[in-house]
Structure 1
Amino acid sequence: MARAANLEQLGILVGEWETTVPGREVKGRTTFEWLENGGFLIQHSTVQQPDYPNSVSIIGATGSDGAFQQHYFDSRGVARIYDMILEDKVLTLFRDGPDWPQRFVGRFSDDGNTINARLERGTYPGGPLEHDFDMVYTRIR
């Protein structure tokens, strides 16, 4: 199976990343790797604190327009689908789910080895989003 042309741009994520939440004692690891022949990108995230879930996500192209979807599953049994866009070194994931909306905006450094992310959430579908927390991804390899 050949990798979709627009999926190639997600190659900037491939590798292992250390994650930190500034101002909190929360550290973790996230890896991104191609599934078999590259039809999907797999994300594994672990957090070194039991209050935060570990997760696995499958990311795939939704068409030729550069849009993606992330199917997220975590250790609490939560499953969610996020729409995803990567444009001009800005990664955006968002959903307006039935429980509460969320948005992740991650900005890559010029060298592609750091992502500074802002996570936001709302309290009801269609409602305004508010800052939840920041996260920094630092490439390890």
Structure 2
Amino acid sequence: MAQDPRPRLEQLNILVGGWDTSVPGLDVPGHTRFEWLEDGGFLIQRSTVERPEYPNAVSIIGATGSDGAFQQHYFDSRGVARIYDMTLKDNVWTLFRDGPDWPQRFVGRFSADGNTIHARLERGTYPGGPMEHDFDMVYTRVQAH
């Protein structure tokens, strides 16, 4: 019988609510909302961007093991689907994939009050290769749970 993942998922409560998103130096406003799926077994992330050249996305986040690891299953309006390994501890949110096309890494650091996330996104040019800065992103909480 599978172990109930909900106790391990409780640490994700810091994400729950609505967030405005921005990319410093670019006019790319967006919004992200995190909410629990019914019964709390998964966290759903919905992201929209107010510029048509950038994709809107939905992600499903779930616990993958007893060690506090998670996975994010990402789907966007271009038809792209990806799976990221995820952690959230010590107020640092990380996502990583070393996909067949190119690797990606997201490192988001929460402010002391938990209402701002400063994120650095990186990408590589080939699997297993070095990572380079892609862009930064800021999440600002606009609505709690």
Give the TM bin, normalised by the shorter chain.
Answer: over 0.9
**What's the offset of the Cα at 1:74?**
0.1
**What's the offset of the Cα at 1:3?**
4.9
- In structure 1, runs of 5+ residues without a counterpart are none
- In structure 2, runs of 5+ residues without a counterpart are none
| CA–CA distance in structure 2, aligned partners of residues 3 and 130 of structure 1 | 34
What is the identity, as a one-letter code, of the residue corresponding to 2:52?
P
**What's the offset of the Cα at 1:67?**
0.1
- Whether the 8 Å CA contact 2:97–2:103 is kept in 1: the answer is yes
Q: Which residue of 2 aligns with 1:5?
A: 7
Q: Which residue of 1 aligns with 2:124?
A: 122
| CA–CA distance in structure 2, aligned partners of residues 63 and 99 of structure 1 | 26
What is the identity, as a one-letter code, of the residue corresponding to 1:96?
D
What root-mean-square deviation, in Å, do the aligned CA atoms of Structure 1 and Structure 2 show?
Answer: 1.1
**What's the offset of the Cα at 1:64?**
1.1
**Alpha-carbon deviations, 1:30-74, whole Å to 9, x = none?**
000000010000000000001110000000000111000000000
Task: Confirm whether residue 102 of structure 1 aligns to residue 99 of structure 2.
Answer: no
Residue pairs, 1:128-139, within 5 angstroms: 128-139=130-141
Residue pairs, 1:68-83, within 5 angstroms: 68-83=70-85
Secondary structure, counterpart of 1:65 in structure 2: coil
- Whether the 8 Å CA contact 1:3–1:37 is kept in 2: the answer is no
Aligned counterpart in structure 2 of residue 42 of structure 1, from 38, 44, 52: 44
Q: Percent identity?
A: 79
**Alpha-carbon deviations, 1:54-112, whole Å to 9, x = none?**
00000000011100000000000000000000110000000000000000000000000
Aligned residues: 141
Query: Stretches of 4+ moved more than 4 A in 1?
Result: none
TM-score by length of 1: 0.98
| CA–CA distance in structure 2, aligned partners of residues 118 and 40 of structure 1 | 25
What is the identity, as a one-letter code, of the residue corresponding to 2:40?
G
